[in-house]
């Protein structure tokens, strides 16, 4: 796989976004975020998704120039309307605002409604962590999995992010409520491979590691069975309430996913403990994890985000990996 210097990838994406009518400063931000997702190994929301994003820009279904605006709130809790703008831009503005509120109030929370897909959920947690805050954010989605007790799709997979600041690289949890993403199931199915662990139900209702069966049954497994299903429901309700926006069942009624609801929180732990204090606490947790005996000798237990940070370092050193075809496609756009 060829590798491209990170700044060159950013420049190329930036050029394409401007050419397709995304105004500044959105174009610069969106180019950086897509490039960072690819750099960090989150290819599902990197170059794989970029052509689709360009198509979305041209579809007229979103407003590329829309600016999110504050429409209500109390103190450090604000409601913003994304006005059907670019999801990545809206999310970035919202977390930026949550961090600003946390500078003054210790913590801040922004509910964002009428917004669109933010691509990589973790990006906005990292944004808060880079500002010295614990970042917590989640989104609702169109229903993608059955709630526990049903075989009918009825709840979103509602990704949840918790990022903890650390100078050498944050702790990052970035997880959907389904055990495996549909994209992952599709890739493994094409490759004729099985899942490492049960990831859903087959068409006869038994737990299965066969990605084709799970796609056919439309029954991906919620993490922790009933627990992930319940977490998806409360995150949806909280997103709708804090933002004043749509719940998953209302997004479903539209037929396609747009005008979703999101929550962005920042907790200013650096104001409490100082950057050194935060560092010491998190480093001690990491050090302890690294002393736990691994199942496979030599493969130390990893902290959340550790694999991603390793990929990032490699990408910055050797260049960001991308497929030959992807690079050709970008040049032609």
Give the active site residues: 45
308: left (phi over 0), alpha (psi -120 to 50) or beta: alpha
For its own copies, which residue of 37, 38, 48, 79 counts as binding (CB under 8 A)?
79
Beta-carbon neighbour count of residue 71 at 10 Å? 15
In the block, which residue shows the tokens 């997880």? 175
Which of 246, 315 has the CB closer to its own copies?
246
Beta-carbon neighbour count of residue 279 at 10 Å? 16
For its own copies, which residue of 82, 87, 154, 200 counts as binding (CB under 8 A)?
154
Kindly report whether the peptide bond that precedes residue 325 is cis, defined as omega within 30 degrees of 0: no
Beta-carbon neighbour count of residue 57 at 10 Å? 18
Task: Tell me how far, at minimum, the Cβ of 265 lies from its own copies, in Å.
Answer: 8
Helix (H, G, I), strand (E, B) or coil at 298: coil
For its own copies, which residue of 48, 115, 127, 179 counts as binding (CB under 8 A)?
179
Helix (H, G, I), strand (E, B) or coil at 208: strand
Distance in angstroms (rounded) separating the CA atoms of residues 185 and 165: 32
Which of 56, 239 has the CB closer to its own copies?
239
Which of 198, 215 has the CB closer to its own copies?
198
Task: Tell me how far, at minimum, the Cβ of 67 lies from its own copies, in Å.
Answer: 21
313: left (phi over 0), alpha (psi -120 to 50) or beta: alpha
- Per-residue string for binding with its own copies, 83-112, x by CB under 8 A? -------------------x-xxxx-x-x-
| Pairing of β 77-81 and β 107-115 | parallel
For its own copies, which residue of 28, 100, 223, 333 counts as binding (CB under 8 A)?
223
For its own copies, which residue of 36, 210, 213, 236 counts as binding (CB under 8 A)?
236
Beta-carbon neighbour count of residue 298 at 10 Å? 5
Which residues ranging from 250 to 309 are in contact with its own copies (CB under 8 A)?
Answer: 250, 267-269, 271-273, 278, 281-282, 284-285, 288-289, 292-296, 299-304
Task: Tell me how far, at minimum, the Cβ of 95 lies from its own copies, in Å.
Answer: 15
Piece of 20-28, 60-68, 88-96, 173-181 that binds its own copies (CB under 8 A): 173-181
Piece of 40-48, 85-93, 160-168, 308-316 that binds its own copies (CB under 8 A): 160-168
Task: Tell me how far, at minimum, the Cβ of 100 lies from its own copies, in Å.
Answer: 13
CA 51 to chain centre: 18
Structure-token pair, residue 267: 């907790």
Which residues ranging from 123 to 152 are in contact with its own copies (CB under 8 A)?
Answer: 134, 146-152
Task: Tell me how far, at minimum, the Cβ of 115 lies from its own copies, in Å.
Answer: 17
Structure-token pair, residue 265: 């929180």
Q: What angle do helix axes 26-39 and 50-59 make, rounded to 10 degrees?
A: 150
Cα atoms found within 13 Å of the Cα of residue 119, Cβ hemisphere only: 31
Structure-token pair, residue 227: 């627990």
**Total site size for its own copies, rule CB under 8 A:** 82
328 scored as a contact of its own copies (CB under 8 A): no
Task: Tell me how far, at minimum, the Cβ of 11 lies from its own copies, in Å.
Answer: 34
The dihedral of CA 283, 289, 291, 297: what is its sign?
negative
Which of 212, 244 has the CB closer to its own copies?
244
For its own copies, which residue of 22, 231, 320, 322 counts as binding (CB under 8 A)?
231
Task: Tell me how far, at minimum, the Cβ of 92 lies from its own copies, in Å.
Answer: 21
């Amino acid at each position: 796989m060829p590798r491209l210097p990170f700044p060159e990838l950013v420049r190329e994406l930036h050029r394409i976004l401007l050419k397709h009518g995304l105004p500044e400063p959105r174009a610069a931000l969106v180019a950086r975020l897509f490039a960072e997702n690819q750099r960090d190994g989150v290819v599902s929301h990197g170059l794989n998704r970029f052509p689709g994003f360009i198509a979305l820009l041209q579809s007229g279904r979103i407003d590329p120039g829309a600016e999110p605006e504050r429409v209500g709130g109390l103190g450090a809790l604000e409601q913003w309307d994304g006005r059907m703008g670019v999801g990545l831009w809206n999310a970035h503005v919202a977390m930026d605002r949550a961090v600003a509120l946390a500078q003054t109030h210790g913590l801040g929370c922004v509910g964002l409604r009428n917004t669109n897909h933010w691509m990589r959920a973790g990006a906005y947690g990292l944004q808060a962590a880079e500002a010295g805050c614990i970042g917590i954010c989640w989104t609702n989605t169109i229903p993608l999995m059955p709630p526990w007790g049903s075989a009918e799709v009825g709840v979103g997979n509602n990704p949840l992010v918790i990022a903890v600041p650390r100078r050498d690289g944050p702790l990052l949890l970035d997880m959907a409520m389904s055990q495996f993403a549909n994209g992952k199931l599709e890739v493994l199915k094409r490759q004729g491979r099985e899942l490492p662990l049960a990831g859903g139900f087959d068409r006869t209702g038994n737990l299965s590691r066969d990605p084709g069966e799970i796609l056919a049954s439309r029954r991906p497994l919620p993490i922790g069975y009933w627990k992930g299903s319940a977490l998806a429901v409360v995150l949806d309700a909280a997103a709708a309430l804090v933002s004043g926006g749509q719940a998953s069942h209302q997004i479903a009624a539209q037929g396609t996913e747009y005008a979703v609801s999101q929550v962005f929180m920042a907790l200013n732990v650096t104001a409490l403990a100082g950057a050194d204090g935060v560092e010491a606490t998190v480093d001690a947790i990491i050090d302890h994890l690294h002393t736990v005996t691994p199942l496979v000798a030599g493969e130390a237990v990893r902290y959340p985000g550790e694999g991603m940070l390793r990929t990032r370092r490699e990408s910055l050193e050797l260049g960001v990996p991308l497929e030959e075809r992807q690079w050709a496609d970008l040049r032609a756009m």
